[in-house]
A = this chain, B = another copy of it.
Amino acid sequence: MAARKHSRQRDSILQFLMTRKDHPTADIIYMNVRQRNPSISLGTVYRNLTLLAENGEIKRLNMGDGVDHFDADTSPHYHLFCEKCGGVVDLKMEDIDSVIEKAAAHFDGHVAGHVTYFYGTCSRCMESGDF
Question: Which residues from chain A sit less than 8 Å from chain B, CB to CB?
Answer: 62, 64, 78, 80, 82-83, 89, 91-94, 96, 99-100, 102-103, 105-126
Contacts and interface: CB of A to CB of B under 8 A. Distances in A.
A109 B96 contact: no
Nearest to A123: B108
A119 B64 CA distance: 16
A109 B94 contact: no
A26 to B, nearest CB: 14
Contact of A115 (B64, B91, B125, B126): B64
Nearest to A100: B118
B83 A112 contact: yes
Given A62-B62, A64-B62, A99-B99, A93 B106 contact: yes
A76 to B, nearest CB: 14
Contacts of A102: 93-94, 96
A99 B116 contact: yes
A27 to B, nearest CB: 17
A103 B117 CA distance: 10
A65 to B, nearest CB: 9
Contacts of A103: 78, 80, 91, 93, 118
A62 B107 CA distance: 21
